[in-house]
Amino acid sequence: MSEEQLSLVPGRNARTKAEVPMAAIDPVAHVVIDSPLPHLDRIFDYAVPEKLSDSVKAGVRVRVRFAGKLTDAFVLTRDSHTDHQGVLLAIASVASDEQVLTPEIVTLCRAVATRWSGVFFDVVRNAVPNRHARAEAAPPVIGDGEIPDIETKSWISYVGSAALIKRSVDGEAPRAIVTTGTDNPAQLIAEYVLTLARSHRASVVVVPDRHAVEQVEQGLISLGAPAWVMTSVMADDGPEKRYRQWLRALRGQARIVIGTRSAVFAPIPELAAIVVWDDWNSSLYDPQAPYWNARDVAVLRSQQQDTALLIVGSAVSTDAVALMPWLAHVSRSKEDSRNAWPRVRSAFDDTYKDTIGKPVRIPPLAFQVTQKALTVGPVLFLTSRAGYMPRLACDTCRTLASCTICSGPLMTSRRSSLPTCFYCGHQEQSWHCERCKGVSLRANQIGSERTAEELGRAFPGIPVRSSSGDRIVRTIDARPSIVVATPGAVPDAPGGFAAAIILDGNGMLARPDLRASEDAFTKWMETVAHVRPDGEAVIVADSEHPAVQGVIRNDPVGFAARENQSRAEVSLPPEVRLIALSGSQADIDDLLDLVRQSIDLDPVNIRGPVPMASAQIRYLVSCTKTQAPALIAAFSAATAVRSAKHKGAPVNIKIDPRDI
């Protein structure tokens, strides 16, 4: 290689091992490599061979040699300079000419990695699906048909909706929480995004699951939207279909992208609005590091790209309400909301008790409401657990029954089955209680299958169906029937259910979790939203609880605001930033010592240690939102130092974890 060619890669000792000519213009590529190691989460420089010069562009996938092995990487930019003083290797190959990692998504992924103390490439894996050559080489599908000029009829009764839609169409960036009550959120979303598409503006719609995607698509189709205007991006699609649909968004061949969690990263050009449906839903939280959630990523993207942002649903998370007044509140008037909301009561208003002084699982009021509602339509029963009897206990002392092999929880799958371990599947032939030596078992929890069986005996001649787990019923007809469903598996009924009975309410509220009340409230609101305005709902829970009162009053924002206030008093999210550390005591101590070298930990609140499984412990570190960026950066830097030194085991870091 000539000295003239080497001079194009600046640096006193810079040279290349490649035996091919280097690019004459911008011979340096700044790349990020595919590695989960925190200390390798940085930009590396590689030389660009002349033969690859036309293909090596910002955003393309390449293969580079790193630590002696060929590694996947993305090109971020090309340059004429490098600060590297050692050997500058050449890019080995280009996987594809498609520029899949756009500058806007690079900025967003970097912000997500910083916000959640993660590795940049871990976020990129969510943003950019795996390449599929056949999908990439397929000719583009050119759709026809004009976008209809529709009336946003579903929005008419919403106070402030006219200004919201007009500002979005005009290219402004309104941001709002839209509480829908008993209205269909999918129809509202479809009308909003189709109106923007008519004005040549693109939207991303993020929903909890495939059924919600199909609902929004059906809403668009019912409005006359041509097929080309929309595309769906879902993680459970096959590799080819997912990549093909994602490419339609990247190439600007669709104006509406609808998808599950990772769709929030969809690289659609000229993005004007982001819509998140049911932001409280746990499926919008990524279960892998760095544990981001779609709502907060949508907030980041809305700020970075100056887009409109709508958070839509019958209920709303405490995290979203904490953003008010940055997020406005759009809903029906109080009078309209009250008239459209069914009557909601607590089953324990009459304080009915059984013989041992505890509330019965299905009180008389629930039977009375069910019997009356069955004369006009279907009735919904919501249970907290799937299965038959998912948890057993000793009938004498009420101690939870455990497997004699692995100590896992015992359950039964049908009426006559033997107690079976939930973990290892061992069947107990002759179980006895270790505490009192009792030999008989009772149900500590009752699932949807057992509930359906009991209701079938209580209401002979009435069809009873169960919807839960992998046997979800999506739609039913309007004939009188009983549907027993778990949260997230409630079917759609024409015109709505005549009544809904929410079982196990006190058990849902008593879970040892920060979000127990919020989870119960949002699931109850979603359930009651399936009831006709002239129907009735009964919650089997204490009437004095704020969550029950919030459902009765149809006050999702008020309930979330009160939850926020109570959490702020004890320094818990969302009013503060919380960092959960889990690992061994020695590893966490080492991490905290490194953090203390760069930042003062005296102003922050450290709770712990709390014992966990596998001899691990957990600490909770809370700070104000103004302190959070510096503190999270210190934890990220300390993690990178420990990774580089191969010191101890990694400490798991979660920022604002959903489950505490």
pLDDT tens-digit readout, 239-274 = 999 999 999 999 999 999 999 999 999 999 999 999
Return the minimum-mean-pLDDT range out of 398-407, 409-418, 547-556: 409-418
Query: To which residue do tokens 């499984």 refer?
Result: 613
Structure-derived torsion over alpha carbons of residues 642, 643, 644, 648, reported in degrees to the nearest 10: 60
Is residue 109 predicted with pLDDT exceeding 80? yes
Instruction: Report the 3 state secondary structure along 298-318.
Output: HHHHHHHHCCEEEEEECCCCH
Is residue 225 predicted with pLDDT exceeding 70? yes
Backbone angles phi, psi at 619, to 5 degrees: -115, 145
CATH 3.40.1190.10 fits 136-336, yes or no: no
- Model pLDDT, residue 358: 54
Average pLDDT of the segment spanning 437-463: 88
The architecture in CATH of the region 577-655 reads: 2-Layer Sandwich (3.30)
Average pLDDT of the segment spanning 413-434: 82
Is residue 343 predicted with pLDDT exceeding 90? yes
Cis amide bond preceding 325, omega within 30: yes
The pLDDT tens digits for 493-509 are 999 999 999 999 998 99
Strands 617-623 and 410-411: unpaired
The enclosing H or E element of 6 equals: helix 3-6
Q: Distance of CA 471 to CAs 386, 485, 489, 491, 495, Å?
A: 10, 10, 9, 11, 23
Average pLDDT of the segment spanning 107-123: 97
pLDDT confidence tier of residue 190, bands split at 50, 70 and 90:
very high
Return the minimum-mean-pLDDT range out of 78-82, 98-102, 399-403, 637-641: 399-403
Q: CA 259 to CA 442: how far, in whole Å?
A: 43
Within 10 Å of residue 70's Cβ, how many Cβ atoms?
11
Q: Distance of CA 283 to CAs 233, 261, 400, 513, 601, Å?
A: 15, 7, 29, 17, 33
pLDDT confidence tier of residue 520, bands split at 50, 70 and 90:
very high
- Model pLDDT, residue 13: 44
Average pLDDT of the segment spanning 551-578: 93
- Model pLDDT, residue 235: 87
Residues 6+ apart with CB under 8 A from 405: 421, 424, 426
Is residue 91 predicted with pLDDT exceeding 90? yes
The architecture in CATH of the region 342-567 reads: 3-Layer(aba) Sandwich (3.40)
Q: CA 233 to CA 247: how far, in whole Å?
A: 10
Is residue 12 predicted with pLDDT exceeding 50? no
Contact between 289 and 651 (Cβ < 8 Å):
no
What global pTM score does this model have? 0.91
136-336 against 577-655: fold identical: no
Domain boundaries of the chain, sorted by first residue: 3-99, 136-336, 342-567, 577-655
Taking the CA of residue 560 as centre, how many other CA atoms within 13 Å lie in the half-sphere pointing to its CB?
26
Average pLDDT of the segment spanning 567-585: 92
Q: For residue 442, what are its two tokens?
A: 């009772």
Q: CA 413 to CA 443: how far, in whole Å?
A: 12
Q: CA 100 to CA 58: how far, in whole Å?
A: 9
Is residue 87 predicted with pLDDT exceeding 80? no
- Name the residue type at position 223: L
Backbone angles phi, psi at 473, to 5 degrees: -95, 120
According to DSSP, residue 401 is labeled: P
Is residue 354 predicted with pLDDT exceeding 60? no
